[in-house]
């Protein structure tokens, strides 16, 4: 997901000058791009010590919090955009955090590995859990505790009264708008509260 | 440095002809833009870093943080350590002579607040010709001063680093302070705060105050790991190892606390202890804003780094998060590290690479000299 082209595709969804909250911001690479190239301001939330340090080194504002404890620190609609890039699949309370994303942000952007990507389907058909570049873990040590597909997210969004304003897949740095559920390793959604 | 002009205090009183002890490290640059002010906590002084010549054991209290090549690098910054009014390490305090009466202040030393200390420090900066600090920094009570600086003089710093601190003390914290104060005040050697005239020191009270403090600075886990139920010396002819005494030192933890208490009572001033714990109790910048910390923090203009420690129950992470939230509400630049350290409140003075690296990275990458 650190692919530079993917980063640019996501950054392009964020309006210039937006106030951004990046949930699970990792080493702060996306926020760094948003600040330098799109004039955005904001904060990253991160739990990992090494990532917090990396963010500080980049000069990105970072707040060390466990997202499973919720977003009570943030007021309703206090950010233009709330990002969850490769975060959703690690969260115990993924659905609550999706609602929180929509509460705190005027717009939400979520990206996560699409388990319905065709190589994954082939693997499961062969009777094996997929191990790919995008999903490099064995079934017994994966940090991805939420396993979902592009199509599944659409249902979850509707269930939580979210209106999807854009949705596409990302594969090898390119946007996939035709049959993304089968053709893309990453699912990407931009949504607002309905 | 001596200041003749009276300093008006928050209480309405004032203090004149006072001295502030301070030390500096590194070199002030030509633009006078690389100064970092370090504010101290309860039991510390202006001697923040380095050792005095010929005294190898005289390390400053934040020597792992400040110095050449350290997280706050004195090759880059001009660091100022200042001892607060009312303290007992060189600045004017209750053991000094009241210029109005010619007698030792004792209990007549005016009650000083965090805000008063900041005003006194600002006068020192004026005298040193420093208009704006690169950063103001402190831990615990020192963090309260750093925070107060950003509200009282928002234009006078570009960054604030607030470690293991809180926007005010909760009831439990005030309670601990009160127990410590009662221990001192009820010591027969206290003499209403005028013990200097009797050539005695209320050491019993100071010892107990320090013992209580020490318990609250450590975490349960660290205390158990360090001392557990270990006995100081086992009695050979007993299966339990107990001496069956009620007044002897038997457990290692008792021995440790008594040692710390004894040591403290040799050098710390009883009136200073009362004054500093009172300043802690009073600090509450939200109070004049209807209790809203966010409204108070609207005054702040600088960028912030906050650090807390997970096992610190005296100044818990929750209290630092309140400050973070107040800054977020005001859209201020803030980073916050919550270090998973086992050492309780003491962690802010200890060598933990995660903590020191974050501070180092912040200064290196965010704080231009």
The pLDDT of residue B237 is 65
Substitution target from A20, A61, A72, A104 for chain B, most B beta carbons within 10 A: A61
Asked if B207 and B258 touch (Cβ cutoff 8 Å), the reply is yes
Helices (H) and strands (E) in chain B, counts: 10, 13
Given this model, what pLDDT does residue A2 score? 52
Task: List B73's β-bridge partners, or say none.
Answer: B67
> At A174, is the secondary structure helix, strand, or coil?
strand
Question: How many whole angstroms separate alpha carbon B333 and alpha carbon B161?
Answer: 12
Q: Which residues of B touch A80 (CB under 8 A)?
A: none
Q: Which residues pair with A81 in a beta bridge?
A: A20, A107
Going by the DSSP 8-state scheme, the letter that residue B351 receives in this structure is -
Minimal CA separation from B337 to chain A, in Å: 5
Least confident of A162-166, A169-173, B158-162: A169-173
Q: Give per-residue pLDDT as tens, A20-67.
A: 999 999 999 999 999 999 999 999 999 999 999 999 999 999 999 999
Task: Please answer yes or no on whether A65 and B338 come within 8 Å at the CB atom.
Answer: yes
Of B325, B335, B357, the CB nearest to A62: B335
Q: If 0-12 CB within 10 Å is exposed, 13-18 middle and 19+ buried, where does residue B41 land? A: buried
pLDDT at A137: 94
Q: Using the beta-carbon criterion (under 8 Å), do A63 and B364 form an inter-chain contact?
A: no
In terms of CA atoms, which chain B residue is nearest residue A19? B331
Of A19, A52, A61, the CB nearest to B358: A52
Predicted pLDDT at A142? 94
Q: How many CB atoms lie within 10 A of CB B179?
A: 13
pLDDT tens digits for range B32-65: 999 999 999 999 999 999 999 999 899 999 999 9
Interface test with A, best of B160, B297, B324, B328 (most A CBs within 10 A): B328
Longest alpha-carbon distance in chain B: 73
Locate B121 and state its tokens: 């420090």
pLDDT at A5: 77
CB A63 to CB B334 under 8 A?
A: yes
What's the confidence (pLDDT) of residue B243? 86
**CA geometry: angle at B234 spanning B233 and B237, to 5°?**
140
The label of the residue with tokens 């202890």 reads B273
pLDDT digits (tens, 9 = 90+) for A107-121: 999 999 999 999 999
> Is B322's Cβ below 8 Å from some Cβ in A?
no
ipTM of the complex: 0.94
Cβ within 8 Å, pair A57-B337: no
The pair of structure tokens assigned to B276 is 């500093």
Mean pLDDT of B86-110: 97
Q: Do B338 and A64 touch (CB under 8 A)?
A: yes
Residue B91 has pLDDT above 80, yes or no: yes
Q: How far apart are CA B65 and CA B192, in angstroms?
A: 39
For residue B227, pLDDT over 60 is answered with yes
Q: How high is the pLDDT of residue A27?
A: 97
Strands B22-25 and B72-73: unpaired
As a whole-number percent, the residues of chain B with pLDDT over 70 amount to 99
Q: How many Cβ pairs within 8 Å bridge chains A and B?
A: 51
- In the DSSP assignment, the letter for residue A54 is H
Task: Report pTM.
Answer: 0.95
Interface contact flag, B354 A53, Cβ < 8 Å: yes
**Would the pLDDT of B207 be above 80?**
yes
Among chain B residues, the shortest Cα distance to A74 is held by B325
Residue of B nearest to A61 (CA): B335
Token pair for residue A5? 């082209």
Averaged pLDDT, A80-86: 97
Distance CA B171, CA B217 (A): 17
Please list the active-site residues of B. 140, 312, 345
Q: By the CB < 8 Å criterion, does B324 face chain A? A: yes
Chain segment B100-140, per-residue pLDDT in tens: 999 999 999 999 999 999 999 999 999 999 999 999 999 99
* CB–CB contact B334 A41 (8 Å): no
Minimal CA–CA distance to A52: which of B363, B354, B137, B139? B354
d(CA B180, CA B206): 8
Q: What percent of chain A has pLDDT over 70?
A: 98
Angle of the A49-58 helix axis to the A29-38 helix axis, nearest 10: 20
Contacts of A45 in chain B (CB under 8 A): none
Show Cβ contacts of residue A166 under 8 Å, excluding neighbours closer than 6 positions.
A13, A189, A190
- Decide if pLDDT at B192 tops 80: yes
User: What value does the mean pLDDT take over residues B248-262?
Assistant: 94
Instruction: Read off the DSSP letter of residue A171.
Output: E
Query: Considering only residues 71 to 100 of chain A, which have any Cβ-Cβ distance to chain B shorter than 8 Å?
Result: 73-75, 78
Query: What does the pLDDT average to over B236-260?
Result: 88
B105 CB-near residues (< 8 Å, 6+ apart): B93, B94, B95, B96, B97, B98, B271
pLDDT for B303 beyond 60: yes
Given CB atoms, is A32 within the 8 Å cutoff of chain B? no
Q: Taking CB atoms and an 8 Å limit, are B321 and A73 in contact across chains? A: yes
Four-CA torsion A158, A164, A170, A173, nearest 10 degrees: -160
> What are the residues whose beta carbons fall under 8 Å from the beta carbon of B237, sequence distance 6 or more?
none
Crossing angle of the two packed helices B141-152 and B270-282, in degrees rounded to 10 = 50
The per-residue pLDDT for B234 is: 65
A180 pLDDT above the threshold of 80: yes
Confidence at residue A1, expressed as pLDDT on a 0 to 100 scale: 56
Calculate what percentage of chain B has a pLDDT beyond 90.
95
Residue B17 reports pLDDT greater than 90: yes
As a whole-number percent, the residues of chain A with pLDDT over 90 amount to 92
**Contact A12/B at CB under 8 A:** no
The whole-number pLDDT of residue B93 equals 98
pLDDT tens, residue by residue, B66-77: 999 999 999 999
Is B198 buried (19+), middle (13-18) or exposed (0-12) by CB count in 10 A?
exposed
What is the structure's pLDDT at B235?
65
């Amino acid at each position: 997901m650190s692919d530079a082209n993917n980063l640019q595709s996501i950054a392009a969804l964020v309006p210039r000058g937006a106030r951004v909250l990046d949930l699970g911001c990792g080493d702060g690479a996306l926020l760094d791009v948003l600040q330098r190239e799109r004039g955005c301001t904001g904060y990253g939330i991160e739990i990992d010590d090494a990532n917090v340090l990396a963010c500080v080194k980049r000069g990105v504002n970072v707040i060390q919090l466990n997202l499973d404890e919720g977003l009570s620190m943030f007021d309703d609609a206090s950010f233009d955009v709330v990002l969850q890039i490769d975060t959703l699949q690690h969260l115990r309370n993924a659905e609550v955090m999706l609602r929180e994303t929509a509460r705190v942000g005027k717009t939400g952007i979520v990206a996560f590995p699409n388990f319905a990507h065709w190589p994954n389907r082939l693997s499961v058909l062969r009777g094996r859990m997929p191990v790919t570049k995008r999903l490099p873990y064995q079934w017994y040590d994966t940090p991805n505790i939420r396993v979902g597909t592009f199509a599944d997210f659409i249902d979850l969004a509707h269930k939580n009264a979210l209106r999807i304003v854009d949705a596409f897949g990302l594969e090898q740095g390119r946007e996939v708008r035709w049959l993304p559920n089968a053709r893309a390793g990453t699912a990407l959604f931009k949504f607002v509260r309905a | 440095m001596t200041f003749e002009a009276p300093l008006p205090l928050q209480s309405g009183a004032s203090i004149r002809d006072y001295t502030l002890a301070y030390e500096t490290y590194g070199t002030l640059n030509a633009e006078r833009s690389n100064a970092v002010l370090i504010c101290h906590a309860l039991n510390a002084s202006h001697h923040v870093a380095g050792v005095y010549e010929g005294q190898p054991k005289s390390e400053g209290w934040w020597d792992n943080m400040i110095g050449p090549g350290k997280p706050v690098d004195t090759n880059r910054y001009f660091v100022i350590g200042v001892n607060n009014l009312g303290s007992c390490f060189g600045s004017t305090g209750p053991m000094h002579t009241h210029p109005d009466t010619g007698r030792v202040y004792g209990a007549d030393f005016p009650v000083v607040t965090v805000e008063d200390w900041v005003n006194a420090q600002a006068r020192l900066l004026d005298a040193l010709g420093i208009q704006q600090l690169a950063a103001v920094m402190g831990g615990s009570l020192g963090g309260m001063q750093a925070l107060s600086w950003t509200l009282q003089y928002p234009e006078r710093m570009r960054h604030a680093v607030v470690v293991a601190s809180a926007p005010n003390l909760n009831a439990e914290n005030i309670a601990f302070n009160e127990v410590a104060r009662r221990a001192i005040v009820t010591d027969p050697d206290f003499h209403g705060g005028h013990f200097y005239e009797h050539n005695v020191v209320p050491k019993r009270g100071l010892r107990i105050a320090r013992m209580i403090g020490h318990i609250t600075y450590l975490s349960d886990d660290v205390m158990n790991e360090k001392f557990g139920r270990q006995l100081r010396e086992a009695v050979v002819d007993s299966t339990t190892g107990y001496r069956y005494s009620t007044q002897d030192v038997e457990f290692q933890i008792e021995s440790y606390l008594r040692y710390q208490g004894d040591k403290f009572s040799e050098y710390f001033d009883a009136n200073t202890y009362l004054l500093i714990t009172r300043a802690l109790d009073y600090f509450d910048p939200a109070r004049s804003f209807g209790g809203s910390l966010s409204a108070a923090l609207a005054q702040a203009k600088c960028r912030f780094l906050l650090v807390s420690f997970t096992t610190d129950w005296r100044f818990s992470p929750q209290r630092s998060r309140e400050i973070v939230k107040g800054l977020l509400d005001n859209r201020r630049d803030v980073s916050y590290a919550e270090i998973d350290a086992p050492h309780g409140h003491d962690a802010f003075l200890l060598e933990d690479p995660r903590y020191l690296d974050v501070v180092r990275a912040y200064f290196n990458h965010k704080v231009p000299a």
